[in-house]
Chain A
Amino acid sequence: MPSEYKLILKHADQPGYTPDIECYLKHGGYEVLKKALAMQPLDLPDGKRKSPQEQLRDEVMKSGLRGRGGAGFSCGLKWSFVDRRSGKPIYLICNADESEPGTFKDRQIIHKDPHQLIEGMILSCFANDVKLAYIYIRGEMPQGAKLLNKALAEARAKNLLGKNILGSGYDLEIHVHRGAGAYICGEETGLIESLEGKRPYPRIKPPYFPAVLGLYMCPTIVNNVETLCNVKHIVAMGGAEFAKLGTPNNTGTRIVSLSGHVKRPGYYEIEVGKVTIGELINDPNFGGGLRDGRKLKAVIPGGSSAKVLKAGEKFKLKRKVDGKDVEQEVDMLDLPYDFDSLLQAGTMSGSSAIIVMDDSVDIVEALANISEFYAHESCGQCTPCREGSLWMSKALHRLTHGEGRKTDADYLEKIANNIPGGRTICAFGEACSWPVQSFVAKFKDEFVAKGAADEAKRAQNGVASNSAAAKRRETVAAH
């Protein structure tokens, strides 16, 4: 029977475990850091020397660690892009903006085990010659900010931060910065602008790749909270050993936020790819199944921006079985929960947030809700997303308020198609259009039926409702 694999959350929920440094130290905290700071340069057969920093970066590369923030990009590769020859300082930013609807994993770490994050950050900073780092924490998490500041003060008091850390000669300072309440601040370049004190308008890439022109136009690494915690475990066990966790190319563990119509919503840490979506929903160790008497309707597998999966959908997966490439047809419930399988299924594991919807859900209402969120959160910088996100939301508001049309399904699809695929400055364009594209494509009959019902009702009542409708639309427009 599949079960949790607790690497990051090993201690967090243990009775008596507190966020204090003493507790962390009692559980072996900062031992990995001490080990890393004591590392020696390695003499290579070709006469070259490999610095401890390079050795650490190699381990991260070997581990196969992929980013836990959303895009699943290789952490080692990201670090390898950093411009180390510019002569400018290198910054590291921990992305703790966790705002993707359905996601509540990073806050578990921050609230329950902040020192694990700090140790992971110090190691990552040391490996990248970073002397100044920031934790950008979502504005709506004041308690988290307080805990992090306390933890940082504790670490400073023990010379785990500051000048000449533990006598190693390495200096590092970490500051907490609180966001002001915008989802787009989670997008790394929007985050950087916000940290610089500006409006979080994401930057165009090229030329503003953070690894070259990031914070204050200096090379910058942005990593998710969970990604940085993993670095500690990679350094502790070695990259090769870490890579044995999970499945090839999908290594390590992930903390899955499970929400919606399951009996046991919550966060579960699993080895990546060792558990299927169906198991996460139904297994007693995880979701414990749907509410009694309900049937599964849809699953959003990676935070609200991921494309929805419809109950009963089948996918062809390319997999390696005994070293051979084979193609297998699998039900959506049998998709292994990992990066690559979900990509093959046309969606993504995103921020590893699974939202489960049973047959009590009005799918049009569900999409209207999601779209309203994205219309509200679009930063408004680039045309397709700025105008498209609100347009979709207005259409869905109309469709869920008795003013629908049969043609609205096609209408929505066309609006949504104008946004993604590299037409926008940041991936928010995809985030706001993928739900619309996938909901409408997979549940088209429900959208058409709703519009048709509204049309029939209007025909019955005559066109009298027109002015009322117009008024209602004004209200949406003004909200």
Chain B
Amino acid sequence: MSTAPTTESKPAPPAIEKIKVKVDGREVEVPKLSPDHAGKLVPTTMIQACEAARTDVPHYCYHPKLPVAGNCRMCLVEFGTPALGPDRKPVMNPDGTPKIAKSPRPAIACATPISPGMEIYTKTPAVKQMREGVLESLLINHPLDCPICDQAGECKLQEYSVDYGQSASRFVEAKVHKPKAVDLGPRIMLDAERCILCTRCIRFTRDVAGDDALGIINRGSYNTISTYPGMPFDNNYTLNTVDICPVGALTSKDFRFQMRVWFLKETKSVCTSCATGCNILISSREEKIYRYTPRENDGVNGPWMCDAGRLNYKWIHRDDRLKDVLVRGQKSSWTVALNEIAETLKRVPPGSAAIIASARQTNEELWLLSKLKAKLGAISDSVPRTGKGDNLLVDEDKNPNTNGARLTGISFTEMGINLSKIAAGIARGEIKTLIVFGEDLLKRAVDAKALREKELTSEVVTEHGITAELLGKLDTLIVSDILPSATAKLAHYVLPGCAHAEKRGTFTNRDGRVQRFMQAIQPPGDARPEWDFLHDLVYNVTGKNGFLTIEGLFNEMAKDVPAFNGLTWAGLGDIGVTVKV
């Protein structure tokens, strides 16, 4: 029996006492304690209560996953608490309701804890006036050149200005000028004039990334974000500050001025650069990817992702992508190649074939390969790929689907353990047919110590003894890959596959979370999603029909693979489901 899949791997927290408050006259019941940015239970704040009441409180500096700073003052609200008489008992109105003593001073909703019976007022004239005042203050020294600002379209200053800004500024003084186009670090640019000094970037890098790299220099209105002199802002999480910067002050060198954000299509996907499987959005336009940004999933990556994973998309658009089906070096067609391969595979004697499938393939693809494996009585494995990990997100395992490869039976607890056996089998002439998916077996191993300090995507491929000479001894070498490789050069059949951005599927991350990703762009040339042509091939070889859609395929796999029992494609939702691994 497999255990029922759950959406969360953590046990349910103990019940928390609830208290009642009113937001603009609407009573809501909220927990007395709520998790803070680090998940610790602390008194629930007004802004959380307002959220529970579905009342929007405008804010700049507050971010649920950062320590509270309370500096922008955009979230000021009025409030009252039950009045207490001299006997410390609540004073009642004639109608029996508790009398509310309105506080003479406003409070910032992001930092002020609620108390039983509290009334929060977010729509009073005073609150409106305070918001207008804050916004006017933020705008007086702001460049106001949205047409040439990269943030336009996803800018909180623009957004709230529509709601609270005065159309004409009273300001007639000279603006404060601050540095523009400041090179903060290898991936980040700062326009200090656009910065509203919310300190989100400072808090993120100090309190989340653990690198106290940013600070403020100068006083008063001359306050400016800065790095320590001579110390560039350079950790593996810097680009998250671009996401959380509410204005156009921090920009990604990679993305800035490449594309107006409102032209971009966003596709829900998953990062493939390590076993963590951070949830991402792929922004694309006309079959071109412009950026990855993290997609919030508290069970995996929260709202963050690492820089290495974020920038690891350029290869998808490489000119030398495999675009053609090749049969013995000659351009061919899918029908010809798949038919020939099927015929060949049908005839191989049991035990004479091997499958090396990448743990970068999807669950569905690996499962289809496992069907081939069973039919051929083949030996199989995947290639481990390791590198540096950290305490925040990055895993040492650089394969996005190691658990998928294990659960589908392609590889084993110790991944790569069969590779030397396959090498020996080929050397002895026992293995005559080799199917390779997504791996360049001739890529030489990299010494872990040779990796640069900060290079977190670089991978150490295990030495396995499969050489060009051995590959030359094979009767049939079938290779599917995305980019050209030395292995593909030696192949009898080359089947061009797809990057995850070009197909749909699921991965099983390091915690056993099965996560879906969607197709953002079309593959180049004749390249086809591996699951799609594998389905044809498996049908040709085994005669068993399957499903032609990814949904059907997944659901069929879920019935077949014990660990996935009970899962459905639809049931995975956007944030995935955790299974026992």
Contact = CB atoms under 8 A, between A and B. Distances in A.
Given A380-B216, A411-B170, A425-B71, A387 B105 contact: no
B174 A474 contact: yes
A423 B216 contact: no
A387 B138 contact: yes
A421 interface: yes
A381 B176 contact: no
B98 interface: no
A383 B196 contact: yes
B223 to A, nearest CB: 4
A384 B104 CA distance: 18
A390 interface: yes
9 contacts: A199-B216, A206-B113, A377-B219, A381-B71, A383-B138, A386-B220, A391-B140, A398-B173, A418-B137
Contacts of A453: none
Interface of A is mostly: helix
Contacts, number: 116
A395 interface: yes
B171 interface: yes
B105 A414 contact: no
B275 to A, nearest CB: 37
A473 B173 contact: yes
Interface string B81-122: 000000000000000000000001111100111000000000
Interface stretch (B128-136, B283-291, B399-407, B469-477): B128-136
A199 B215 contact: yes
A418 B106 CA distance: 13
A204 B68 contact: yes
A383 B219 contact: no
Given A414-B170, A418-B137, A383 B176 contact: no
A375 interface: yes
What 5 pairs between A and B have smallest CB-CB spacing?
A: A422-B105, A380-B223, A418-B133, A387-B137, A473-B174
A411 B140 CA distance: 14
Nearest to A385: B220
B175 interface: yes
Contacts of B398: none
A342 interface: no
Contact of B219 (A204, A376, A384): A376
B41 to A, nearest CB: 14
B173 A423 contact: no
Interface residues of A, number: 41
Contacts of A237: none
Interface in A352-386: 375-384, 386
A462 interface: no
B170 A477 contact: no
A44 interface: no
A394 B141 CA distance: 12
Contacts of B173: 391, 394-395, 398, 473, 476-477
A380 B73 contact: no
Contacts of A389: 220-221
Given A382-B73, A422-B105, A422-B106, A376 B220 contact: yes
A478 interface: yes
Contacts of A18: none
Given A199-B216, A394-B173, A422-B106, 7 more contacts: A204-B108, A380-B219, A390-B220, A422-B105, A424-B73, A476-B174, A477-B174
B133 A423 contact: yes
B216 A418 contact: no
B534 interface: no
Contacts of B137: 383-384, 386-388, 391, 418
B218 interface: yes
A383 B134 contact: yes
Contact of B133 (A375, A384, A473): A384
Q: Which of B107, B130, B136 has the most CB of A within 10 A?
A: B136
B197 interface: yes
Nearest to A398: B173
Contacts of A382: 70-73
A382 B73 CA distance: 7
A182 interface: yes
Contacts of A387: 137-138, 140-141, 221
A375 B141 CA distance: 14
B76 interface: yes
Contacts of B172: 395, 405
Contacts of A423: 73, 76, 106, 130, 133-134
Nearest to B221: A390
A477 B72 contact: no
B177 interface: yes
A273 B84 CA distance: 33
Contacts of B70: 204, 382, 425
Interface string A187-199: 0000000000001
A63 to B, nearest CB: 25
B220 A383 contact: no
Contacts of B197: 380-381, 383, 386
